[in-house]
Amino acid sequence: MRDDDLKLDNCVKCSDCNTACPVLKVYPDFSGPKALGPDMERFRREGVPSDSRWVEYCLGCHRCDVACPHGVNVSELIAKGKAQHPKSGRTALRDHWLARPSTLGKLCSSIAPVANAVLKLTPNRMLMSSFGEITAERKFPAYSSKAIRPAIANHGSRAALFFPGCYIRYNAPQVGQVVVKLLRLNGFSVNVAPDICCGMPALANGDTAQLTDCVERNVADMVQAVDRGAVIVTACTSCGYALKGDYSHLLAKHPTLAEAADRVSGATYDLAELLVELQDAGKLNDEFVVPRRRRLAYHAPCHMKSQGIGRPWLKLLRAVPGIEIEEIKADCCGMAGTYGFKNEKYGISMDIGRDLFRGILAFKPDLAVTECGSCQMQIEHGTHVKTVHPAQILYEAYKVGKPL
């Protein structure tokens, strides 16, 4: 019997997953993870027809997995249903491209000034809403023509391969450059991974073929660095969750790659996770200059919580003199990557984020901070509070420069 069969049979219908679901809290018509995951998987295996449209409303936040007391892989079962859900017309075309942010990133960054000008025009956003099923309420993040530069000339005592992810690579390369500098300041020689998506957007949009392609290419590339002794470093929690995840089932036809995926997973760190490890060992570079005083509202992304690594950025930034930082006690922000860009899901996305928006505004911070690029977009959209990556705050503490 397969391992996923055993996990499926562990479901005792306790509904803990439903209790943790952000969508179900604001949208009672949603079937909930229990029905869409283990219940529907049983129907699928028996060949019983079932209504699969509701799987499209799953955020992919993995809170159901964390909440399940019996280890049922609820989100993976929902993802299987999403991959089998039929799509057609404009929805199929939209989701096809949203599953390929690296392709869009390469195209738009190569003509960044033109692409950004076109994406900002209100008539074009209205046109995409009418014919492309992308909400006109959202503003697309600007694309950058700048590249993240590796730092292989820095002969640190340890090697790191930085995996930027599509958002940092194509939309926020300044964050990627800060990550490279932080690693160098802490004794790492740094190289940058090739521009291959982690696969999470493909998973979210039900494109298993694209997901498998991303996983196979990333594993084949990154295992070489791991075997040379490098650690893999991410600064996006969704990318980190993907690289640490158990994708062996996607590589079943390639046993060698499946074993390599385990080695990549074991060598992958979130940036803050790695720096806290240095901090605990007394090896973190803490030569901070006289800092600017900052009052920061922190949001912990769902995919960071799902990794089970605590709140490493809180620990790091609280060690910096002059920093006041508090975690806003709220659930998912509601953006979930491409989810919040879709016409039919925009209202749900904003309703989910409402408690977070209220908490940030009540705290009255100078800035909001979160590791996830889509969380950053959602917070700024819902509060108009400038939101940055916590790595930018930490780097600012090492060097007096232009304030954020």
Q: Name the residue range of residue 35's domain.
A: 3-84
- Predicted local confidence at residue 154, as pLDDT: 59
CATH of the domain at 308: 3.40.50
Exposure class string for 355-367: b at 16+ Cβ within 10 A, else e: bbbebbbeeebeb
Residue 77 inside a domain? The answer is yes
Residue 386 lies inside a defined structural domain of this protein: yes
Percent over 70 (pLDDT), the chain: 94
Q: Which residues contact 189 (CB under 8 A, 6 or more apart)?
A: 151, 152, 154, 155, 156, 158, 159, 160
Mean pLDDT of the chain: 90
* 121 has a pLDDT exceeding 90: no
- 151 in a domain, yes or no? no
- Comparing 280 with 401, the larger pLDDT belongs to 280
Q: Is residue 301 part of a domain?
A: yes
Kindly tell me if the per-residue pLDDT of 62 is higher than 80.
yes
Q: Final residue of a domain: which of 84, 114, 143? A: 84
Mean pLDDT, range 366-385, rounded to an integer? 97
Q: End of a domain among 57, 84, 111?
A: 84
84, 119, 141: which is the final residue of a domain? 84
CATH number at residue 16: 1.10.1060.10
| Residue 250 lies inside a defined structural domain of this protein | no
Give per-residue burial for 130-139: e unless 16+ CB within 10 Å, then b.
eebbbbbebe
pLDDT at 135 over 70: yes
Residue 223, domain member (yes or no): no
Res. 106 pLDDT band, cuts 50 70 90: very high
Per-residue confidence band for 28, with pLDDT thresholds at 50, 70 and 90: very high
Better-predicted residue by pLDDT, 3 or 293: 293
Asked whether 235 and 391 are in contact (CB, 8 A), the reply is yes
Amino acid identity, position 390: P
Give domain status of residue 137, yes or no. no
pLDDT at 1 (0 to 100): 35
- What is the number of domains present in the chain? 2
Query: Residue 388's closest CA among 315, 396, 335, 320?
Result: 396
Contact 225, 195 (CB under 8 A): no
* Residues 74 and 17: beta-carbon distance below 8 Å: yes
State pLDDT tens for residues 323-364: 999 999 998 999 999 999 999 999 999 999 999 999 999 999
Q: Quick: pLDDT tens for 184-196.
A: 999 999 999 999 9
Average pLDDT over residues 43-67: 88
Q: Answer yes or no: is 290 within a domain.
A: yes
Which of 28-37, 93-102, 214-223, 287-296 is least confident? 287-296
CA distance 236 to 238: 6
